[in-house]
Chains A and B, each alone.
Chain A
Amino acid sequence: MKDKESVVVLQSVVLVAMIKLVGLTKQFDGFTAVDRVTLSVAPGEVLALLGPNGAGKTTTVRMLAAILRPTAGRVFVAGYSVTEHPREVRRRIGLLTERPGLYLRMRGEEYLDFFGCLMGLDADQCERRAKELLARFGIAKAWDQRMGTYSKGMRQKMALVRAMLHDPSVLLLDEPTSAMDPHSAKLVRDIVCSLRHHLRAIIICTHNLAEAEALADRIAIIRRGRIIALGTPAELKARLLGPPLIELRLSHSTDGVVKLVSDLVKVEAQGEDWLRYSTANPRETNPLLLQTLAAHGVGVVTLSEVPRSLEDVYLRVVEE
């Protein structure tokens, strides 16, 4: 484990990282909330931070936002240390908190003007940017409405606009699509994806595994303050769920077919006209298998990979 950590530390030093955590630790009165977390996020990369409640996700994000001070370890955001230059870090991050936390007696315009001003935007710049973002999120009418009258989804979108108002290099998003209808959630996901092209580094904390899989380039699973799995969704699946599972559907019964293919692959399950096998190297195995079946006159209807969800990975890792 230590070797692996060292490798990751080395990578984070060598690669240009917008977010870099090295041995990040946070203790509260003897309780370790975050335990030697080491990872990095490159510009244009989306990292999903997954984990059960109380795993340390929010504490990690708060340390990245220079709200909490690490007990040990180092954190750099956009090149600034959160302990030495917290204000510079806060200037460069956009934080979406777990709850929108709006001032409900204010109008959208006043609210965004307030945060724009704190973030150093001038009034014109702030208005232009705010209106542009509100339009992108489909809530242009929120501009002159009191926020107390907003729906839950609108509040969440307004909080996202607040986080993105100053065009930060780093976005820390805690449950970005919670309380949103499917259409709005897709809109937000599309916007997050578009930010990737603008080389923004994004960390998303979520319990929505499908969303994490759809958005994230890499996934970090955190439990009891420690990163217990880190990699792309495909890597994690391969590492934790074993080789891909392929389903073969035939035009007739599988009788005798299992024997034909068992030299090439390991058959995991079979039915009347289908069978499932796993293979570590589908690129080589599958064409070979098809050639064998064709040579023996076995008709193949479909050959496809059995979808394995991130949920399987997550449950496997967390339960272990």
Chain B
Amino acid sequence: MNTPMPDRKEKETRIQTRRRFLELFGKTSLFAGFAGIMTSTMRFLLPNVLYEPPTIFTIGVPDDFPPDSVNFIEENRLFVFRRPEGLYVISSICTHLGCNVRWNPVRGGFDCPCHGSKYDGNGKNIAGPAPKPLKWFELSFNGDKKLVVNTRREVSKNFRLQV
């Protein structure tokens, strides 16, 4: 008997804090669960399997390319250069917004038809809005002495493949 009032109040406060904690915990879990559902839904929209052309492919044998020539391979969107010092491959995809650049034989460089970017013979951007040089791809021989391009591997502009 004679239970003092503060005790009851203390008990009530304890219940209050527990209730508040449970409420917060419940709401947070619900929110986290909902955020999880949203994240997984967004992730669903990023495909894991792509049915795109392969990034490693053959482009023929060296003799397909006459000496001292510039060859555009439309299908793979790249230029194959055969120079006395060796073979090398430069991407035709403009670094500005992805158009195909064209070889300008007069100037000995590349022009982009979309926004007027210009590159020198090594694909270095020299005028227009292009922010970066054209990509150089790794070129190698496979077992059948065929030329293989790997567009996943970029190389420096000193790269030459000796024939």
A binds B: no
- Name A residues whose Cβ lies closer than 8 Å to a Cβ of B: none
